[in-house]
Amino acid sequence: MSAIVAIVGRPNVGKSTFFNRLIERREAIVDAVSGVTRDRHYGKSDWNGKEFSVIDTGGYVLGSDDIFEQEIDKQVELAIEEADAIIFMVNVEDGVTGMDEDVAKLLRRVNKPVFLAVNKVDNAKRAEDAVEFYSLGLGDYYTLSSINGSGTGDLLDALVEVLPESEKDESELPRFAVIGRPNAGKSSFINALIGEDRYIVTDIAGTTRDSIDSKYNRFGFEFNLVDTAGIRRKAKVKEDLEFYSVMRSVRAIEHADVCLLLVDATRGFDGQVANIFWLAQRNNKGIVILVNKWDLVEDKETNTMKQYTQKIKQAIEPFVDVPILFISVLTKQRIFKAIETAVQVYENRSRKIPTSKFNDTMLPIIEHYPPPAYKGKFVKIKFCMQIPSHYPQFAFYCNLPQYVREPYKRYLENKLREEFDFMGVPISIFMRKK
């Protein structure tokens, strides 16, 4: 499970630009309009071989700056509670503002590492101006320019020094996390499963910082069920605050082998659910989608389920090899089928294919349809194998790996899924130089 780093600060100081630089993808829309970041932002980053999750809190505030003032306290408090380290970003052009002082006041009380990052420092004059940020009482600061990247290395060097080592005990039981947006029925799902006392083996107080783990035995298979819903609520945090459910989901997903994504059938597979899905996919976790409250959907016809399934598959393209089950926690309809499916996905994720069998299967497929020539050059794939890791990753060795395009990798992935059962599991494919 990797550490979590939260980036906090008032709007328009450059949090999203810095976030994009860390995850090396333009996932946030960056614009000079204050508060333009509307989407939830999280991604994976690594520095000096240490991987961590990054959360940009910029995307959680809607409305004007005065609404922001009320919200920023909530966000900073949440970041303080959930993250392992905090980057507090300020902007040298504006100097120290009242809002910066408010955030600093909250951060001074924290016993977690806080890094003060002074952004937009791209010349010596601005580096001198940065001195005034000492007045925030957070000790030394790091000057950087998130647009051109100067100075970010020093900050990241210091950051990864303090991040906790990722905990992964190999002998641990498999972990199934129940995730989804608030009120999708996560707690009820777990209660419906565990309600039959004879299945409970023990209750362990959660290792994932107050999420509850229940050891559970079913179908002769023992695993930990991680409940992200039964978490103590902070009075200050409204249940519907998206940032809050995202923060909680990040923790649970990081710590799981398989994620059971609960969708409220009456609300549909909306943007926030899709975000939680992609978060699990990006973390290479097994996924089972459970459409709950199916008993409440009115006017069901013979193909309603089929249409609903199609809609979900459109939303999760190109990773559509995911089991989708329609359940009702209330009537206990198909809830054990859900666990059985999760066990199957866990086994798929742990599957190891012997190299000789893998080559015997894949090389004839490749020969039948080789990678298209690129710039007049022909790519020859001579050998392939599964890379030893926690989830399925495959290496294909060839003469010109740089000429194999994305569509061909997708073709290989589809063939791989046809030949070997990897339902519910993200796959990574790498082209390597022979």
Q: Contact, 176 vs 260, CB < 8 A? A: yes
Is there a binding annotation on residue 180?
A: yes
Residue 39 counted as an annotated binding residue: no
To the question of whether residue 63 is assigned a binding role by annotation, the answer is no
The response to whether 295 counts as a known ligand-binding position is: yes
Q: What is the amino acid identity at position 247?
A: M
313 is annotated as contributing to ligand binding: no
Task: For residue 201, say whether it is annotated as part of any ligand binding site.
Answer: no
The tally of CA atoms less than 13 A away on the side-chain side of residue 52 is 25
Three-class SS of residue 288?
strand
Structure-token pair, residue 258: 């398989």
Retrieve residue 137's tokens: 């009482």
Q: Is 434 annotated as a binding residue?
A: no
* 206 labelled binding-site residue: no
Q: Residue 278 annotated as binding?
A: no
Residue 217 annotated as lining a ligand binding site: no
Instruction: Say if residue 148 carries a ligand binding annotation.
Output: no
**Is 364 within any annotated ligand binding site?**
no
Q: Read off the amino acid at residue 36.
A: V
Instruction: Say whether 95 counts as a known binding-site residue.
Output: no
47 is in an annotated binding site: no
Q: Is 380 annotated as a binding residue?
A: no
Report strand pairing: 200-204 vs 212-218.
antiparallel
Establish whether 126 is an annotated binding residue: no
Residue 11 assigned to a binding site: yes
294 marked as part of a ligand binding site: yes
Phi-psi region of 138 (alpha: psi -120 to 50; beta: other; left: phi over 0): alpha
Determine phi and psi for 146, rounding to 5 degrees: -70, -20
Q: Is residue 83 annotated as involved in ligand binding?
A: no
15 is in an annotated binding site: yes
Q: Is 6 annotated as a binding residue?
A: no
58 is in an annotated binding site: yes
Annotation-wise, does 182 bind a ligand?
A: yes
Does 236 show up as a binding residue in the annotation? no
94 annotated binding-site participant:
no
Is 14 known to sit in a ligand binding site?
A: yes
408 labeled binding residue: no
Is 270 annotated among the ligand-binding residues? no
d(CA 18, CA 12): 11
Report d(CA 397, CA 385) in Å as an integer. 9
Question: Rounded distance, CA 234 to CA 423, Å?
Answer: 38
Q: For residue 74, say whether it is annotated as part of any ligand binding site.
A: no
* CA atoms 112, 116, 117, 123: torsion sign: negative
Q: Is 292 marked as binding a ligand?
A: yes
Residues in the chain: 434
What distance, in Å, lies between the first and last C-alpha atoms of the chain?
32
The answer to whether 45 is annotated as binding is no
Instruction: Consult the annotation and say whether 186 binds a ligand.
Output: yes
- Going by the annotation, the residues of the binding site for GTP are 9-16, 56-60, 119-122, 180-187, 227-231, 292-295
Residues that constitute the known binding site: 9-16, 56-60, 119-122, 180-187, 227-231, 292-295
